[in-house]
Amino acid sequence: MSVSDTVLVRPADAHNARLVSNVHPPDWQNPTPAPCYNLVVIGAGTAGLVTAAGAAGLGAKVVLIEKNLLGGDCLNVGCVPSKAIIRSSRAIFDAREAGRLGVRLDAPAKVDFPAVMERMRKLRADISPHDSAQRFAKLGVDVFLGEARFAGPDTVQVAGQTLRFKRAVIATGARPADPLIPGLADAGYLTNETVFSLTQCPARLAIIGGGPIGCELAQAFQRLGSQVSLLHKNAHLLDREDMDAAALVQNAFIREGIALHLNANITRVERNGDGKIIWYKAQGKEETLPVDEILAGAGRAPNIEGLNLEAVGVQSDPRKGVLVNDCLQTTNPRIYAAGDVCLAWKFTHAADFTARLVIQNALFLGRKKLSSLTMPWCTYTDPEIAHVGLYERDARERGIEVDTYVREFKEVDRAVLDGEDDGFVKFHVRKGRDEILGATIVARHAGEMISEISVAMAARIGLGKLASVIHPYPTQAEALRQCGDAYNRTRLTPTVKKWMGRWLAWQRG
């Protein structure tokens, strides 16, 4: 039985046809079910793919079920397309700024928006074989296309078949939360599920939500040619991040001409000819904002509906998703969850590493704990903000005293030479102990730099020790070692200094 020919990724061009042929092949035949599976995996985003591949590699009989596109959000409508267009947006920004580096272009650099989007679609299709149904079938996984729901304590139904399992994993991810703004649905709006299908750049684009998704796309579209208005309900963008870090990004946005509407409470939206009008209240005043398109990026909702969770004793919450314990086990001990559907950390690498944990716990009696993971993340604005561990406010809330070490990139030769000195590295160290509790980096490539700190934290290497690691000169990563030097200087107590002075005096005779 051919299962589906209805999945269409727009625009219907050769790149998207290649993508779909990999991640939802129109002529796919669901296999004949095995009598019983070690593991049923529902959802083939990062969490589901990693669980299925890992478990099959260890010899388990695994079924992977996907109702839409294998690869999930990350490949199709998340990380991959967003980072592709962010790369193009950096190229045009650099071209416009080239004069600062003494490079003159004969004519102003221009964006070819359809070409930017086509490049993204081509690269997404190029990457897609890795997540393809064909590859997973070759790995020994039974791939089913269709919507899964639990039918009983040890059965799942999909595409007219009933599959028996010993263990199941819910990896159904999340979707854009409905902004619940009167008139918005009627006026029409984009989300991350539709914005990457654009082939023309909206002249005036309003983005609702100043979190990571809203901010990354706001800067990318502003650079690619839209006049972006960013509406955020709170007083600062990226308000979960370190405030100094978020302020640098906010200032960059203002410099680049993004219109920021902070503390904005959107009251309604109306269609206006080909465009839309947003009504919002800010600082007690009612304002209107005429735009051509609206992109909603305000929060994520877990995909828990339609799974029949109550019937199998799996508790869930409309905001938090599937409820799990520290071993990622749901309230039904045979059923686990991984990725966005159950985590506050909505990142691809979090989905990946929770999947690895689930394999061990579900199939091999493991007791691996979510709380043991050292989880970094990065927001890919320019500059980027990367973070790992505790923020200062987390430490305060937990009653932990910290010493904070900051190195501004204005003091780091390579950042100055690169013209990228708007940023810093900040470490929080447990007071009185050489233990890194958390760190934030604001830099053009902060995401590439944070892993050194993650390694240090995971391996319990202190900041003092980082000072003894030789970093090539000149690199921006030297800022990390320099924080280590600053830490070590604080270890130079008056007593140690006195003894060193005496030793040197004795040496002089």
CB of 66 to ligand FAD, least distance (A): 5
| 298 vs 500: CA distance, rounded Å | 58
Give the contact letters, 104-143, x = binds to ligand FAD (CB under 6 A), - = no: ----------------------------------------
Residue 37 or 405 having the CB closest to ligand FAD: 37
Distances (CA, A) of 397 to 406, 430, 470: 21, 14, 35
Q: Do 211 and 300 contact (CB within 8 A), yes or no?
A: no
CB of 306 to ligand FAD, least distance (A): 6
CB of 44 to ligand FAD, least distance (A): 6
Q: Shortest CA distance to 363 belongs to which of 79, 52, 35?
A: 52
Bridge-partner residues for 337, per DSSP? 170
CB of 104 to ligand FAD, least distance (A): 34
171 binds ligand FAD (CB under 6 A): yes
43 binds ligand FAD (CB under 6 A): yes
Q: Do 74 and 80 contact (CB within 8 A), yes or no?
A: yes
What b/e string do you get for 374-391 counting C-beta neighbours within 10 Å, with b at 16 or more?
A: ebbbbbbbbbbbbbbbbb
219 binds ligand FAD (CB under 6 A): no
Residue 143 or 363 having the CB closest to ligand FAD: 143
Residue 261 or 300 having the CB closest to ligand FAD: 300
CB of 341 to ligand FAD, least distance (A): 6
Which amino acid is present at 368? K
DSSP states of 213-252: HHHHHHHHHHHHT-EEEEE-SSSSTTTTS-HHHHHHHHHH
Span 80-109, contacts to ligand FAD by CB under 6 A: 82-83
Q: On the CB side of 38, how many CA atoms lie within 13 Å of its CA?
A: 20
- Pairing status of strand 161-170 against strand 37-42: parallel
CB of 387 to ligand FAD, least distance (A): 13
Phi, psi values for residue 349, rounded to 5°: -70, -25
CB of 146 to ligand FAD, least distance (A): 7
Residue 80 or 457 having the CB closest to ligand FAD: 80
Phi, psi values for residue 274, rounded to 5°: -85, -10
321 binds ligand FAD (CB under 6 A): no
450 binds ligand FAD (CB under 6 A): no
| 254 vs 260: CA distance, rounded Å | 7
Give the contact letters, 7-26, x = binds to ligand FAD (CB under 6 A), - = no: --------------------
192 binds ligand FAD (CB under 6 A): yes
Which of 15, 24, 61, 67 forms a contact with ligand FAD (CB under 6 A)?
Answer: 67
Residue 142 or 340 having the CB closest to ligand FAD: 340
Report the SS3 class of residue 407: strand
Which of 25, 72, 202, 209 forms a contact with ligand FAD (CB under 6 A)?
Answer: 72
| 46 vs 349: CA distance, rounded Å | 8
Residue 219 or 303 having the CB closest to ligand FAD: 303
Which amino acid is present at 354? T
Residue 183 or 299 having the CB closest to ligand FAD: 299
Residue 69 or 412 having the CB closest to ligand FAD: 69
What b/e string do you get for 413-423 counting C-beta neighbours within 10 Å, with b at 16 or more?
A: ebbeebebbbb
Q: Shortest CA distance to 419 belongs to which of 428, 410, 431?
A: 410
> Total number of residues binding ligand FAD (CB under 6 A)?
39
Q: Do 407 and 482 contact (CB within 8 A), yes or no?
A: yes
389 binds ligand FAD (CB under 6 A): no
Which of 21, 46, 229, 440 forms a contact with ligand FAD (CB under 6 A)?
Answer: 46
Helices (H), 37-112: 46-57, 72-77, 79-97
Which of 25, 48, 302, 438 forms a contact with ligand FAD (CB under 6 A)?
Answer: 48
387 binds ligand FAD (CB under 6 A): no
Which of 13, 118, 147, 434 forms a contact with ligand FAD (CB under 6 A)?
Answer: 147
Give the contact letters, 345-384, x = binds to ligand FAD (CB under 6 A), - = no: -xxxx-x----------------------------x----
Span 301-320, contacts to ligand FAD by CB under 6 A: 303, 306-307
The C-alpha torsion from 116 through 122 and 126 to 128, rounded to 10°, is 100
Which of 41, 52, 55, 74 forms a contact with ligand FAD (CB under 6 A)?
Answer: 74
Residue 69 or 230 having the CB closest to ligand FAD: 69
Which amino acid is present at 342? C
Q: Give the number of other Cβ atoms within 10 Å of residue 6's Cβ.
A: 7
Which of 25, 54, 78, 209 forms a contact with ligand FAD (CB under 6 A)?
Answer: 78
| 505 vs 46: CA distance, rounded Å | 63
CB of 321 to ligand FAD, least distance (A): 10
Q: Which residues bind ligand FAD (CB under 6 A)?
A: 42-48, 65-69, 72-74, 78-79, 82-83, 147-148, 171-174, 192, 213, 303, 306-307, 339-341, 346-349, 351, 380
